[in-house]
Amino acid sequence: MIKAAALVLVAALAGYGIHALAQTQIDVRPVVTPMGTSSSNGVSFAWFFDSMRRTVYVCRTRERAGSALDCQARATLP
């Protein structure tokens, strides 16, 4: 009797574990949308819009080898 109850308990826990792992959890988040680019005097700019946060980002880079990409400037829209 105890073996049968233990077997039923293990089967129930295994079934619950399979059910829990089989659940799909998709994190849907809009992608940042590119708005435009410009370049002048060896410096390039690109603007991006994040619709979830209603924020515009501007990224800047220089047109030389090894230059870093700077995307820290942003403005939140009302």
Q: Do the beta carbons of residue 59 and residue 39 sit within 8 Å?
A: no
Which residues, other chains included, contact 70 with Cβ-Cβ below 8 Å and sequence gap of 6+?
A: 59, 60, 61
Q: Is residue 77 part of a domain?
A: no
Whether the per-residue pLDDT at 65 is higher than 70: the answer is no
The mean predicted confidence, pLDDT, of the chain is 82
Q: Is residue 18 part of a domain?
A: yes
Higher pLDDT, residue 2 or 57: 57
Q: Is residue 13 part of a domain?
A: yes
20-50 pLDDT tens trace: 777 777 777 667 889 999 988 888 889 999 8
The reported pTM is: 0.53
Integer Cα distance of 39 and 19 in angstroms: 53
Q: Is residue 21 part of a domain?
A: yes
Boundaries of domain holding 47: 2-70
Q: Is residue 75 part of a domain?
A: no
